[in-house]
Copies of this chain bind each other. A is one copy, B any other.
Amino acid sequence: MPLDDRSTYVLKAIVFSYIKTAFPVGSQSITRSFDMGVSPATIRNIMADLEAQGFLMQPHPSAGRIPTEKGYRFYVDHLFQHAGLLNDRDEMLGQAEHLVQRETIQALLQDTSKLLSGVSQYLAVVTAPKFSSTRIKQVEFVRLRKSSVMAVCISQDGFIQNKFFEVPEDLSQKDLNKIADTLNGLYSGLTLQEIRQKLLKQMQKMKDLYDHLLHEVLELTRRTFIDGSPGGVDAELYMDGASHMLDLPDFADFRVMKGLLSAFEEKEVIVQLLDKYIGTEGVQVYIGSENPFLGDHHCSLVVSHYKRGDQILGTVGILGPTRMEYSKIIPLVDSTAKKVSRLLEESSMEEKSSLGEN
């Protein structure tokens, strides 16, 4: 059964109030704060109903109500209906505009993470583009020592990755430069996918015909782009603001706090968490046990993606307690993701015009 208008309002008022104060909300405090023209007793009846339907719960028999995860979910889903309950979100909306162009995408993402955590006072998480999904702009090889080579791969988004490998035969830096030159001519502008395909075809064709340089090019291409992921970890993660979490009453329990902090040190867990939801458009909100990790740590996650053109590159998000200020955070994450996308777009415009002039 869908909720009638008044119940909806009461539920949202309770969630709103609990998010603000972290105290269980009683019937009286609602009539005081949201003058609805009804008495506390009426509110009590409504609250009893809402509890029966699983939107609210009581931490102990004679306390006020607090939202359940289902309650938060409803609140978030109907967030932008009663404008009166979220008049304070504008203050954050403009913050994303402070982001500016940087030399590399890594630097930009680091700024983004710092900004998000500073503004939100929660934990910010930002992932770098999966290297495998970006377009390669250029590769350079650097000879480290005998038969040990480093490849520096630069994507069109200004994403830089190093990869190390051994080569069977010793190559001088001159050789490497020549190889890089040829390689760039062949593969620049393609994605890993495309490179892989092209490479396979070319290797087929060249199998018998022996050309030393081309052989090396193909071999190093394979080493650089196909064998494993460049640099070991494919997805880098930027995280800031963990210390803010200590201020929240939600994590007053030491064990919870401890678990959370340990999890933050294992960045891979977080990367997995974020990767899981890549691919969907716009801002998304995951509340508590809608995801096992979040549930275990009494957390919620608000994420969006930044992209170039229509290709999703990475994730921008905020992780906070279930009792998070969704009404502020959702617009913040949204505007930030868009701003990052716009900056990337602009830098790639600049790129193109520069290529034109060249």
**A160 and B158 form a contact (CB under 8 A):** no
Contact with B along A127-150 (1 / 0, CB 8 A): 000000000001010111110101
Chain A: interface residue total (CB-CB under 8 A): 43
Q: How many copies does the complex hold?
A: 2
User: Contact residues of A with B, CB < 8 Å?
Assistant: 103-104, 138, 140, 142-146, 148, 150, 152, 154, 158, 160, 162, 164, 170, 172-174, 177, 181, 184, 240-243, 246-247, 254, 257-258, 261-262, 264-265, 350-351, 354-355, 357-358
Given A140-B140, A146-B357, A158-B144, are A104 and B243 also a contact pair (CB < 8 Å)? no
Q: A104's closest neighbor in chain B, by CB? A: B164
Are A164 and B103 closer than 8 Å at their CB atoms? yes
Contacts of A181 in B (CB 8 A): 173-174, 177
Which residues on B sit within 8 Å (CB–CB) of A143? 138
Alpha-carbon separation in the docked complex, A257 to B264 (Å): 16
Q: Which residues of chain B are within 8 angstroms of A150 by Cβ–Cβ distance? A: 103, 154, 160
Task: Output the least CB separation between A76 and chain B (Å).
Answer: 29
Known: A138-B142, A138-B173. A254 touches B262 (CB 8 A): no
How far is the CB of A306 from the nearest CB of chain B, in Å? 20
Residue pair A144, B154 in contact (C-beta under 8 Å): yes
With A254-B246, A258-B243, A354-B146 given, is the CB distance from A152 to B140 under 8 Å?
yes
Give the residues in chain B near A174, CB-CB below 8 Å.
181
* A257 and B246 contacting across the interface, CB-CB below 8 Å: yes
Contacts of A184 in B (CB 8 A): 173
How far, in whole Å, are A174 and B182 apart by their CA atoms in the complex? Answer: 12
How far apart are A187's CB and chain B's nearest CB, in angstroms? 14
A145 close to B354 (CB less than 8 A): yes
A106–chain B nearest beta-carbon distance, Å = 9
- List residues of chain B with CB within 8 A of the CB of A172: 358
- A353, chain B: closest CB distance, angstroms: 8
Residue on B nearest A184 in the bound complex, by CB? B173
Within 8 Å CB of A152, what residues of B? Answer: 140, 142, 152
Known: A145-B351, A350-B145, A354-B146. Contact between A242 and B257, CB under 8 A? Answer: no
| Cβ contact of A162, chosen from B146, B160, B242, cutoff 8 A | B160
- Across the two chains, which residue of chain B brings its CB closest to A247? B258
Q: Please give me the residue from chain B that is nearest to A266 by CB atom.
A: B243
Chain B residues within 8 Å of A170, by CB: 357-358
Q: Write the chain B residue with the least CB distance to A166.
A: B103
A146:B243 contact, CB within 8 angstroms = no
User: Which residue of B is nearest A137, CB measured?
Assistant: B144
6 A-B residue pairs with Cβ-Cβ distance under 8 Å, sorted by A, are A104-B162, A138-B143, A170-B358, A173-B184, A243-B264, A243-B265
